[in-house]
Amino acid sequence: MKNQYRSSDARRYIDAHPHCHPDLALRVYTSRLIGEEPSLVLHGGGNTSVKSEGLTLLGDPMELLFIKGSGWDLATIEAQGFPALDLAYLRRLRVLPGLNDEEMVNQFKTHMLDSSAPNPSIETLVHAFLPPRFIDHTHADAIVTLTNMADPEPRLRHLLGDKVAILPWIMPGFPLARALAHCYETHPGLEAMVLRNHGLFTFGDDAETAYGRMIHYVTLAEEYLQSRQPPSLARLEPGPEGRLDGAMILPLLRGALTIDPAAAGPVPPFLLHLRDSEAIGQCLSRADARELFSTGVLTPDHVIRTKNYPLWLDLHGCDEARTARTIGTEMAAYEDRYRHSFQTQVSARQLTRTCLDPKPRVILIPGLGIVTAGVTEKAAIIAADIAEHTLLAKALGAAVAPYQELGEGHIFDMEYWSLEQVKLKRGKFLPLAGRSALVTGGGGAIACGIGRKLLAAGARVFLSDIDRERLQRVCELLGQESDPALISGITMDVTDGASVRHGLETIVLACGGLDILVPNAGLAHVATLEELDEAALRRVLEVNLVGVFQVIKAAIPIFKRQAGGGHIPAQIIINSSKNVFAPGAAFGAYSASKAGAHQLGKIAALELAAMGARVNMINADGIFDDHGISSGLWDVVGPDRMRSRNLDPAGLKNYYRNRNLLKTEVLADHVGNAVVFFASGLTPTTGATLPVDGGVAEAFPR
């Protein structure tokens, strides 16, 4: 591992933070250097601190501890991410015979200088009790790998030297803080401490020294592991069975992973993330892969993200029916093992705890890769990052000694520790959390409004369009309004079955499946029947009618696979038109095609109800644009309508506003609200039509 500390960069950090102590600026700098290295910390892991001086409100000098705050990631941390605490007071806590977690957190909160600052790290007392000014703590892969072996101390002592102390696993909190302080005091000259199954602490009286020691000792561990690798390791090839069909497997797996709401409360379905690098494929193709990689986490800190054990699935040689059975059988067995382990722990300790959901978060599938599950895509990616590092670390360690996981009792303590669980505490779930949605015709105004409202409701949104430039504009606009990682554009031709199937496969491989389908792509043409060209009629029918058919047909296999779990009801919401019930002269191609699509929706409602799918229609009218995104329909129809009524664009909008009963402008966001209503499943409704037109009497459904 390369030491990235540069004096010139350190000076720039000091200059960029003129309102804070130089020590804190340097603390930010080296913390970021640590956070930028995934083999040291992942997604909020690790913590750093610096001891400094300050003044009270009355001007009295006081010792301060600046410690990484909860919720901050070392890779992006700023000075405000380090809450300041009364160091002298924290040190006095060491004389207590014991300190429970709740009171420990209370002491942190009541001795912060700024009540609005983030909560201090749960390892604050470690940093307070140890004397050095700068302390760095990481879960370095190489160090943890070497500790997860039988009797690792002789090897570690020989490798790291006599300036590093090695301690057994100790639960974070007050006991760990006292143990590390005692060790430091009884071993003069220490530069670092290794805590088995947890990680490495390094320290120094300046930022460069503490950081440099971290890099030095981790590098020793990395070089040792690399030196023990057999030459054949790099030449491992994937097994002869071949690549599995992820587009078939992931929806089946996602359905099986869905938590039963009747048993677990209102928990959203999971989104999935597939990680399939060449290195992962090589690991999973090893002859000893199942035995090696089905073991527990590298460090208990990971358990709240990944559970202790992954689920191993060998699906080679399985057709779809057998794949579904295997997934169901192995999933049930995994859940039984989890519940049994939980019950064993609570019974032995005579505890009262509520069992967390027993579903795996990491699934290892030879021939496919690592699949991870999360209520949000971010949670699934975090689990995948941890799982990938775990896989590669175990592979490296296997060349040194057999893997030895931490006992299940310690894992239970961490997984059910209130101070760890609080990291995952969420408010009320958004109505579409954990669900994915596809909106066709994604380059237009209505799709923009639908996408906006789906994103606001918590969905993972995909927009498709044949016009790549228009599609990109909508995605960029929505990405500016919300998290751009939650919106993706797919170039797709809804009239081409192969293009549609490829587009839906892209979605499945990106997030595991599809829950909400909004056929919205539309094409307009103005001509009387006498003047209507047959080729123009066919073009409109191909997009507005056949396109709806193509996307529904391609989505049905995905919906059926997901329905195996019974708790991910598919939602199809067709954007029809006011013209279904109130067609317009010289608008026959559009009106007839939309009426046909509307009828297809009713047929789909009849045919798909058996698997719990709901199909509904929205009849909108007069939507011209959305935040600068024009409607493709009105780009075609607008000039004719303005000429026939002798109106300018503003006048045309006013005309459509005044012709409805409510005298209101209909917006793309209104259509989006209607889509979210149906997609949320708030009512047991299918086969329904919801007008979004301000009240056009001749278009009332009948």
Give the three-class secondary structure for 427: coil
Range 57-85 average pLDDT: 94
What pTM was estimated for this model as a whole?
0.93
Name which of 49-53, 234-238, 397-401 the model is least confident about.
234-238
Fold match, 246-424 / 436-697: no
When the pLDDT of each residue in the chain is averaged and rounded to a whole number, the result is 93
| Residue 534 vs residues 302, 496, 540, 586: alpha-carbon distances, Å | 63, 20, 10, 14
Pick the CATH number of 7-227 from 3.40.225.10, 3.90.1210.10, 3.30.750.24, 1.10.287.470: 3.40.225.10
Instruction: Determine how many CB atoms are found less than 10 A away from the CB of residue 336.
Output: 11
What number is the average pLDDT over the span 236-246? 70
Sign, Cα dihedral of 170, 171, 175, 176: positive
In sequence order, the 6+-apart residues with CB closer than 8 A to the CB of 57 are none
What three-state secondary structure class fits 616?
Answer: strand
- DSSP-assigned beta bridge partners for residue 85: 65, 112
Count other Cβ atoms within 10 Å, centred on residue 567: 18
Report the CATH superfamily, name and number, of domain 436-697: NAD(P)-binding Rossmann-like Domain (3.40.50.720)
Q: Given pLDDT bands bounded at 50, 70 and 90, which one contains residue 235? A: very low
The predicted structure's pLDDT at residue 55:
86
Give the angle subtended at the CA of 542 by the CAs of 538 and 544, to the nearest 5°.
Answer: 115
Q: What percent of the chain has pLDDT over 70?
A: 96
Identify the CA nearest to 120 among candidates 131, 106, 138, 130.
106
The pLDDT, as a whole number, for residue 594 is 96
465 vs 493: CA distance, rounded Å: 7
Q: Residue 694, SS3?
A: coil
Give the tens place of pLDDT for each residue, 592-620.
Answer: 999 999 999 999 999 999 999 999 999 99
Amino acid identity for residue 639 in this structure: P
Instruction: Round to whole Å and give the CA distance between 83 and 245.
Output: 49
Tens-place pLDDT, residues 539-594? 999 999 999 999 999 999 999 999 865 567 899 999 999 999 999 899 999 999 99
Query: DSSP for 62-79?
Result: EEEEEEPBTT--TTT--G
What is the rounded (10 degree) CA torsion for 430, 432, 433, 439?
-130
For residue 627, the model assigns a pLDDT of 83
What's the pLDDT score for residue 634?
72
**How many CA atoms lie less than 13 Å away from 49 in the CB half-sphere?**
31
| Cα separation, 480 vs 67, whole angstroms | 33
The single-letter code of the amino acid at 25 is: A
| pLDDT of amino acid 651 | 81
Rounded Cα distance between 383 and 586, Å, is: 56
Given this model, what pLDDT does residue 263 score?
53
Q: Which residues pair with 689 in a beta bridge?
A: 617
Mean pLDDT of 293-305: 94
Q: Answer left, alpha or beta for residue 307, where phi above 0 means left and psi between -120 and 50 means alpha.
A: left
Q: Which DSSP category does 311 fall into?
A: E
Q: Where are the beta strands (DSSP E) in 492-570?
A: 516-518
CA distance 381 to 15: 35
Q: What is the pLDDT of residues 319-369, one digit of tens each?
A: 999 999 999 999 999 999 999 999 999 999 999 888 998 999 999 999 999
- Pick from 332, 314, 333: which is nearest to 249 by CA? 314
Q: In what order do the strands lie in the sheet with 516-518?
A: 487-491, 460-465, 436-439, 516-518, 571-575, 614-620, 689-692
pLDDT at 260: 64
What tokens were used for 419?
């101070």
Q: Cβ–Cβ contacts within 10 Å for residue 62, how many?
A: 14
3-class SS letters over 6-64: CHHHHHHHHHHCCCCCHHHHHHHHHHHHHHCCCCCCCCCCCEEEEEEEEECCCCCEEEE
Phi and psi (nearest 5°) for 62? Answer: -150, 150
Rounded CA separation 489/624 (Å): 22
Distance CA 164, CA 474 (A): 56
Phi-psi region of 318 (alpha: psi -120 to 50; beta: other; left: phi over 0): beta
pLDDT value at residue 636: 77
Q: Is the pLDDT of residue 177 over 90?
A: yes
User: What is the reported pLDDT for 233?
Assistant: 47
CATH architecture of 246-424: 3-Layer(aba) Sandwich (3.40)
In this predicted structure, what is the pLDDT of residue 234? 44
Least confident of 158-162, 303-307, 414-418, 531-535: 414-418
What whole-number distance in Å separates Cα of residue 163 and Cα of residue 217?
Answer: 10
Instruction: Determine the Cα angle at 277 with ends 271 and 282, to 5°.
Output: 120
Which pair of tokens denotes residue 120? 């201090």
Q: What is the mean pLDDT of residues 280-286?
A: 95
Strands 629-630 and 625-626 come out as antiparallel
pLDDT at residue 564, as a whole number? 67
- Asked if the model's pLDDT at residue 45 lies above 60, the reply is yes
Q: What is the DSSP string of 81-101?
A: GS-EEEHHHHHHGGGSS---H
Greatest pairwise CA separation for the chain in angstroms: 99
**CA distances from residue 647 to 45, 100, 625, 653 in whole angstroms, order as listed:** 62, 75, 17, 9
Structural domain spans, the chain: 7-227, 246-424, 436-697
**More reliable by pLDDT, 22 or 647:** 22
pLDDT at 418: 80
Nearest one of 376, 379, 371 to 250, comparing CA atoms? 371
